[in-house]
Amino acid sequence: MNTLYLVIFISLLGPLFGSLLGVLWRYSDTQIHHMLSFAAGVMVFVSVIELLPESSKKISTVLLVSGLLIGGLLMHVLNKLIPHYHHSPFGFESRMQKLKRLALFVFLGIFIHNIPEGIAIGIGAIPSYDFSILIALAIAVHDIPEAISVAAPLYYATGDRWKSFFLTFLTVIPTIAGFLLTYYFLNNMSALYLGLIISATAGIMLYISFWELLPEVFSVKAKRVRYSFSFLTGAVLVILLQGLL
């Protein structure tokens, strides 16, 4: 198999398996909250121990913070533009509507986060395809729990297995696009632009985690401790994967 196609194939595996696992059955309300908490843990620690350190190698602290703020501000504006139901005739947002919106936020966070992942694979392929394959394998393993955290809440909220699977699988698009664009056209991208992209991605993921996911998860007072363990599980998984891969 051509090495280029092998890299693309490996990149598809993580979202594919994660999407399938997420829609195999309907999860309970408690399980969905555990997954949302887990997703927040993954996104927070991907930002803190992967994205921000990588960004700091390329740009100054001032630019890094600027990128964080830009990402958070963009997400805040998008949050205001996404339809809410607080002004419905009943004066509140239904539980399923809220859950669907939260699942879409997780989808958006993972989708955007996969752009620098694809860039990383593309940069790795410039000196050696072997290095690029290693990066793609690490990212594929990392993408499985992320995809589950998107697919399961979507399926729970919509009841549409195949639509939820398809939407979640779409998170692979920025990985493939980032890889191909970087390898063929952006292999001379300056460290400044790359560092800003990475830090802005971290800002987006932190915003989604702290302003959307965790407030909803911890609104259930009786199970806050349990959901905290799910958050920590996501964090530990990121740390282990970074150490092992």
Instruction: Give the mean pLDDT of 184-188.
Output: 74
Q: How far is CA 244 from CA 44, 63, 90, 137, 240, in A?
A: 19, 30, 51, 12, 6
pLDDT at 124: 62
Instruction: Give the mean pLDDT of 158-175.
Output: 90
Is the pLDDT at 107 greater than 90? The verdict is no
Name the pLDDT band for 67 (thresholds 50, 70, 90).
very high
* Residue that wins the pLDDT comparison between 181 and 139: 181
Contact 29, 98 (CB under 8 A): no
Model confidence pLDDT, tens digit, residues 213-240: 888 788 777 677 888 999 999 888 888 8
pLDDT at 20: 93
Q: What's the number of CA atoms in the CB half-sphere (13 Å) around residue 76?
A: 12
Q: What is residue 11's three-state secondary structure?
A: helix
Lowest mean pLDDT of 62-66, 83-87, 122-126, 205-209, name the range.
83-87
Is the pLDDT at 187 greater than 70? The verdict is no
Model confidence pLDDT, tens digit, residues 3-38: 778 888 888 998 999 899 889 888 787 888 888 888
Instruction: Give the mean pLDDT of 120-149.
Output: 72
pLDDT at 183: 80
pLDDT at 85: 41
* Residue that wins the pLDDT comparison between 92 and 75: 75
Q: How far is CA 46 from CA 51, 100, 148, 152, 230, in A?
A: 6, 23, 16, 20, 15
pLDDT at 165: 94
Instruction: Give the mean pLDDT of 148-173.
Output: 88
Is the pLDDT at 70 greater than 90? The verdict is yes
Contact 120, 174 (CB under 8 A): no
* Residue that wins the pLDDT comparison between 4 and 130: 4
pLDDT at 62: 95
| 34: nearest Cα among 229, 240, 221 | 229
Q: Domain boundaries in the chain?
A: 15-244
Token output for 177:
């696009």
Most confident option among 104-108, 119-123, 234-238: 234-238
| 12: nearest Cα among 139, 199, 106 | 139
Q: What is the dihedral of CA 230, 51, 152, 236, to 10 degrees?
A: -30
